[in-house]
Structure 1
């Protein structure tokens, strides 16, 4: 399909124009005009680009692209090497950050809920439905230890758990990626637990002192699923060759 047709469809599907973000969403690097073969992934790192080149892809679709607010604007170092590889090989780079977090079908948060079997009751912050994250319930009541093991089994990554192993957990809020700053929102919502990708030092104390279980399951591990689901949709909708490539990241 035409690149412009693909971008227009994705922009409409993900409603990217309605979401304020820290980076440009949509087409970030222009490559081939015709799109036949897409590689999807979490982050447009050099390893993913190299794999796309190896597989003969003309387009890369990711959650974490380039040109973040506040970053060094110079095209030097790894930025130069990444852009050079994309341009020489005429590969499109398409990235959707917050639009891919909040989408109700293909978004990272709803896809993570599906992987973990979480029941979704609504947005994490009812006063701001555009904020990524959800609130809901576990598949069944579990102890802290049981839920930690369940996360490890589903995501193939052992999470960090702040909380008592034998406490009963029923309700939960979650937001994929680096959303440790939403812990207070979860506390205010009165849930038993909060799940995200990363943790910082203040979050440990907030979790302990409020009795809210905190599960840090990995930024990459919690965000594997949005770009993959979106790519699978494109493959079925437009009969495109789409491959998900998981470049592992322990963070």
Structure 2
């Protein structure tokens, strides 16, 4: 039996609490399609490749972490943006996107799922004073060398991370924030952890790691943010009796 689009959006808004975040894009329903939903396709980014695959799979709804209408982008509907939106409208497919709320959710979020994947026990937030902290701190069951932790990331994420050794110490306590959160390395240092993991890296991150004596790992923006949207898609499928398929559109960044 199909689910109602409005009911799905209301459920997700209640689950992910987008009103709690000052974000760079609108969260929730971005493109409205048909009102009855039978099949969901999820993916990290609402790229043309993901949209084309959703069309091929006859999906009614696409669920992503990176959607449309980012602050600072050209507001005109032309070129690449026009092609993507036209494809959705022509096939009556809805697009739902959650950005920071999906990073932060304590069970379904990108950071929570990454910890689960890597076997890190969460002990708190990267910003302890913030009830909606994006990023976490935690600990490993056993201390690891930089090489061992790098291999753990590579084996779980399917790509070799960039690693910067900030000293000779082993890694027991870790802070992490998925995606483009390399600037949080200074917050991690102030919390006294052994290592920090983000998705992307910047030139100055190297100096922060070396001078502050904290190990750093850039594991990939896409690679670290594949897991929250899968968890949310599975949750929707379970709650509403829908079909759900995650589609991996690989991105080396």
Gaps of 5+ in 1: none
Distance 1:7 1:17 in 2: 13
Residue 143 of structure 1 contacts residue 165 of structure 1 at CA under 8 Å; is this kept in 2? no
For 1:173-188, list aligned pairs within 5 A.
Answer: 173-188=175-190
* TM-score, structure 2 normalization: 0.97
For 1:222-237, list aligned pairs within 5 A.
Answer: 222-237=224-239
Cα RMSD between the aligned structures? 1.0
Match of 1:129 in 2: 131
Quote the offset at 1:139 in angstroms: 3.2
Residue 145 of structure 1 contacts residue 166 of structure 1 at CA under 8 Å; is this kept in 2? no
Distance 2:176 2:86 in 1: 37
Distance 2:6 2:68 in 1: 20
Distance 1:230 1:140 in 2: 30
Match of 1:147 in 2: 149
* Stretches of 4+ aligned residues off by more than 3 angstroms: 164-167
Gaps of 5+ in 2: none
Per the alignment, do residues 202 and 232 of structure 1 end up closer, same or farther by CA in structure 2, a change over 3 Å counting? same
Residue 172 of structure 1 contacts residue 195 of structure 1 at CA under 8 Å; is this kept in 2? yes
Quote the offset at 1:164 in angstroms: 5.9
For 1:15-164, list aligned pairs within 5 A.
Answer: 15-163=17-165
Distance 1:241 1:139 in 2: 36
Per the alignment, do residues 237 and 60 of structure 1 end up closer, same or farther by CA in structure 2, a change over 3 Å counting? same
Quote the offset at 1:131 in angstroms: 2.7
SS in 2 for 1:221: helix
Quote the offset at 1:17 in angstroms: 1.6
Residue 207 of structure 1 contacts residue 214 of structure 1 at CA under 8 Å; is this kept in 2? yes
